[in-house]
Amino acid sequence: MGDKITKVSIIISKGGLDGVYPGLILANGARMEGIEANLFFTFFGQDAITKKRMGKIKVATVGNPGMHMASLLGMLPGMSAMATSMMKKTMEKLDIPPVPEYIEMISDAGCKLYACKMTVDMFKLKKEDFCPQVDSIITVGKFYEIAAGGEIIFT
């Protein structure tokens, strides 16, 4: 056996269900293997930890080539809601929790959650706008300090 990964720091930079879930699954999976994990939320990725948005994250049907759907179709009213509800049902079957529950579970699993300071300044957010699982608002420099000695994954 080669070297084992003992620590990961995962950056979630994109919004939307397909932007947020990969990083959450990686972080939770790391903790399940006993790997130390940190999550750093930046740009629209912060929707996943923002109280008023975390329960309403949708999958984009416009400008999302992964949806295999013409953008004109995706523009139809209710399309994004329908795609989101289908995806959520599938995920529930696979035992993948909705975003707010997943954030709680990941935090309970011992993963630390951080919000990016620059995004916070840009969108004029405050610590109170985030769910209680968020440890603190940190700079990029601090992120590197926290991530030291481990792998960094950007999503």
d(CA 30, CA 25): 8
SS3 153: strand
Toward another protein, which CB reaches closer, 70 or 109?
Answer: 109
What number of other Cβ atoms are within 10 A of residue 33's Cβ?
11
Site for another protein in 12-71 (CB under 8 A): 25, 28-29, 31-34
Out of 63, 65, 94, 124, point to the residue binding another protein (CB under 8 A).
94
Out of 75, 76, 86, 109, point to the residue binding another protein (CB under 8 A).
109
d(CA 148, CA 70): 43
Binding-site size for another protein (CB under 8 A) equals 15
Toward another protein, which CB reaches closer, 108 or 145?
Answer: 108
SS3 14: coil
d(CA 58, CA 81): 7
In the complex, the residues that contact another protein under the rule CB under 8 A are 25, 28-29, 31-34, 94-97, 105, 108-110
